Structures are given as structure tokens and as C-alpha cells.
Structure 1
Amino acid sequence: MFRRISQYITEIKSELKKCSWPWESDPKVRGFRKYRELSGSTIVVLIAMVLLGAYVSLFDLILAAIVNGTITGLS
């Protein structure tokens, strides 16, 4: 059982070395600049989440107003 676990962990390590990671692989790059791609992608995702949340909330408010009949002229 321990041999299989060890083999599994070894295979995981070898597969993870093949991955493309979203940070700079150059050891000379340090600090925040190393994670430029990662931070840029995170900002894009956060902005998209805020915009989508605003869109869904607005659409929900409009539909709730229509269902409740609070918008004049629609009844």
C-alpha cells in the first residue's frame, strides 16, 4: 500500500512539472513582478464577477417589480 502511495505522489510531481504556471519562472524576477500574469488574471475575474453580479441583481429587481406590479403602466 505504501509503495502505491509513493508511486502516486511521484506521478503527481512529474505531471505538475509539465504544467504551465501563471508566474514567472525566471529566478531573477522577484517580488510582485513575478506574479504579474496571476494578479492580472485575478483582477479580470474579480471585475467580471462584479459586473455579472450587478447584471443579475438589476435583472432580478426588474422582474420582481414586474411580478409585484409596482411598475406603472404594465398592469
Structure 2
Amino acid sequence: MFSKISNFLGEVKGELRKASWPWESDPKIKGIKKYKELVDSTIVVLIAMVLLAGFVQFWDFFHVLIVGFFTNFDFGR
């Protein structure tokens, strides 16, 4: 069982070395500049989430008004 776990972890380590990571590999670049691509991608995702949440909220509010209008209709009583 331990040999299977060790083999699995070794394969995972090998695959992670092959991966393309979203930061600079240049050792001269320090601090947050090293993670520029990662930060930029995160900002794009956050902006997209806010826009999508606003879009969904707008249409939800609009549909609540429509359903409320039809369910509160008096029909001449």
C-alpha cells in the first residue's frame, strides 16, 4: 500500500514539474512583479464575477416585479 502511495506522489511531482505556472521564472524579478500574470488573471476573474452577479441580480429583480404584478392583479373584484 505504501509503495502505491509513494509511486502516486512521485508521478504527481513529475507532472507538476511539466506544468506551466503563471509566474516569471526569472530570478531577477522580485516581489509582486513575479506574479504579474497571476494577479492580472485574478483581477479579470473578479471583475467578471461582479459583472455576472450584477446581471443576474438585475434580471432577478425584473422577474420578481413581473411575477408580483401578475400575482397581485385584482381581476375586477
**What amino acid sits opposite 1:26 in the alignment?**
D
Question: By how many angstroms is 1:54 displaced?
Answer: 0.3
TM-score of the two chains, using structure 2 as the length reference = 0.87
TM-score of the two chains, using structure 1 as the length reference = 0.89
Correspondence 1:15 to 2:26: no
Question: By how many angstroms is 1:61 displaced?
Answer: 0.4
Correspondence 1:55 to 2:50: no
For structure 2, the 5+ residue unaligned runs are 71-77
Coordinate RMSD, CA, aligned? 1.1
Equivalent runs, 1:1-75 vs 2, <5 Å: 1-69=1-69
Note the alpha carbon deviations across 1:10-54, whole angstroms, 9 max, x for none.
100000000000111112211000000000000000000000000
Query: Distance in 2 between the 1:59 and 1:16 partners?
Result: 42
Specify the structure having the higher radius of gyration (Cα): 2
